[in-house]
Amino acid sequence: MNDLTGRCALVTGGSRGIGRAIALALAATGADIAVNYRERRDKAEAVASEIKELGRHAVALSADVALAAEVKRLVADAESALGPVGILVNNAGIARPVTLDTLDTPIWDETIALNLTSAFLVTQAVLPGMRTRRWGRIVNISSTAAQIGGIIGPHYAASKAGMIGMTHGYAKLLAGEGITANVVAPALIDTDMLRGNDRAQPSLVPLGRFGSVEEVAEVVVMLARNGYITGQTINVNGGLYMS
């Protein structure tokens, strides 16, 4: 596929950072975009406006994707506004840097819910339609933390590692139905989230710089276009982890 014209993409956590870049990149390739957000309505609506300026359809939709009822509403609203969701990018998540002494059960539960359970809930919500149409692209945004531990903490690394295992499961079960499932694992990408973490330094990266959100978005677009890549983790990390 040279373009994604006529496809509807749902990007969770699409109001800023990596999610915003992915939404704009998919729109530039022809897709219509549902921009999910939880708190930043103004930013999500600004992204939707940018997409409309590209000549595509877009809608900003509020939902806490860690809650099943809100996910059900989100997918229904996205499909009502734009048509069947064919591309899902599970990007929503949080990063709460903690020390081992301050890591507790509430932080663990919150991180797993927002980073991992949310991806499961949204995937389950869009899958029936994808399976009926026998076409779909699922892209889960994980992290190099899943592979090397990272700089946030065990809770974050576990949530992102879980996304990789979950993706493998979906990829295997859906391979014969025209639906692919893949992971993009970025590291130290220049975002607001990164700038708020004093542990993040360009010197950690072999290439000597932070990555850009556009460099992550390019990979997501490639996976959305490609029907023969499935069950893979694409690393966008400046050489921090080599596979």
Catalytic positions, please?
Answer: 156
Which residues, other chains included, contact 167 with Cβ-Cβ below 8 Å and sequence gap of 6+?
Answer: 138, 140, 142, 181, 182, 183, 231, 233
Euclidean distance between CA atoms 76 and 181, whole angstroms: 21
Tokens matching residue 20: 């915003």
Contact present, 94 and 191 (Cβ < 8 Å): no
Euclidean distance between CA atoms 200 and 189, whole angstroms: 10
Count CA atoms within 13 Å of residue 152 on its CB side. Answer: 25
Bridge-partner residues for 140, per DSSP? 90, 183
Q: How far apart are the first and last CA of the chain?
A: 27
The owner of tokens 């927002």 is: 114
Q: Cα dihedral sign for 214, 218, 224, 225?
A: positive
Closest CA to 66 of 102, 109, 28: 109
Euclidean distance between CA atoms 47 and 58, whole angstroms: 9
